[in-house]
Amino acid sequence: MIYIRKRKTPNIIVEKATAIKKDPASGYEKLELPKDSTQLRFLFEQMPKATIRSELIKEQHGLCAYCMRRITGQQNDTKIEHYKALSMDKERALDYQNYLGVCYGGEHDSPEQNKQCLCCDASRGDKELTISPWNQRQMQAIGYYKNGEIYVRPNVGLGSELQNAMQADIDDVLHLNGEKDSNGKIEWDTRSKLVAGRRCICDSVHSQFDRWSKKGFLTVDYLQEKIEKLESQLKGDNIADEYIGVRLYLYKRKKEKLEKQK
């Protein structure tokens, strides 16, 4: 998961939302949640969804807000997620500032074994989240183990309560680590193979480090250059590599380690 800088709501989206809310025929005014969720969803369906998806793709650089897999903005691979669930928050149901672009969480992938679980929104449903890709402080605390597991780093100033709530969202709500056993060990991957995907990046980075080290390239300055190059993928409307957060994290930690050794 990486930080997403939310952009201003495009005018066309503001105008449509306002028109729906003001239209007496829409019934918006009288809707009460959670009982009228179906009618509210019907109004949401009238929003300019293709425009919303393409705006989300730009601000998220072509990555699912939760798992960092590729999404293209097409209806068949990109869902518009309500961060505050539609059934819980009428005001924010038609508000672009409450939208994230997310993947289908494996719903379209065929299961190799029936134990593989769904991730992201497909796993979350309407559950409330503490973790937020719009929160820079939270996102700076995200780390990855060599086995591809995503975790919230302790001792980075979040406090244990917030840290635990974020980890529970990762493991139990969004299922970004597949299924874990009672000892917290990963038993099987998600259907979208997130753990394997992230592990593949970890392996690639560690063999890069070996190569760079042998050639004498593995220095703070060299890593800084690599970090800046990666971060340039997260500027403007650029499309970033899948799982880019993993590589960035590993480069940054390695750089910190080298700085301490100086």
Residues that bind Zn ion (CB under 5 A): 64, 66-67, 103, 120
Distance (Å, rounded) from C-alpha 111 to C-alpha 43?
A: 34
Task: Tell me the residue type at 236.
Answer: G
Residue of 153, 250, 145 lying closest to 199 (CA atoms)? 145
Q: Is the dihedral of CA 107, 35, 101, 135 positive or negative?
A: negative
Q: At its nearest, how many Å lie between Zn ion and the CB of residue 144?
A: 16
Residue of 182, 185, 183, 121 lying closest to 149 (CA atoms)? 185
Q: At its nearest, how many Å lie between Zn ion and the CB of residue 243?
A: 11
Nearer to Zn ion, 53 or 90 (CB): 53
Nearer to Zn ion, 58 or 70 (CB): 70
Q: At its nearest, how many Å lie between Zn ion and the CB of residue 170?
A: 12
* Strand ranges inside the chain, DSSP E: 79-82, 99-102, 142-144, 150-152, 179-180, 186-188
Compute CA 9 distance to the chain's CA centroid, rounded to the nearest angstrom. 19
Nearer to Zn ion, 66 or 83 (CB): 66
Q: At its nearest, how many Å lie between Zn ion and the CB of residue 9?
A: 23
Residue of 86, 95, 98, 91 lying closest to 37 (CA atoms)? 86
Q: At its nearest, how many Å lie between Zn ion and the CB of residue 120?
A: 3
Nearer to Zn ion, 101 or 143 (CB): 101
Nearer to Zn ion, 122 or 158 (CB): 122
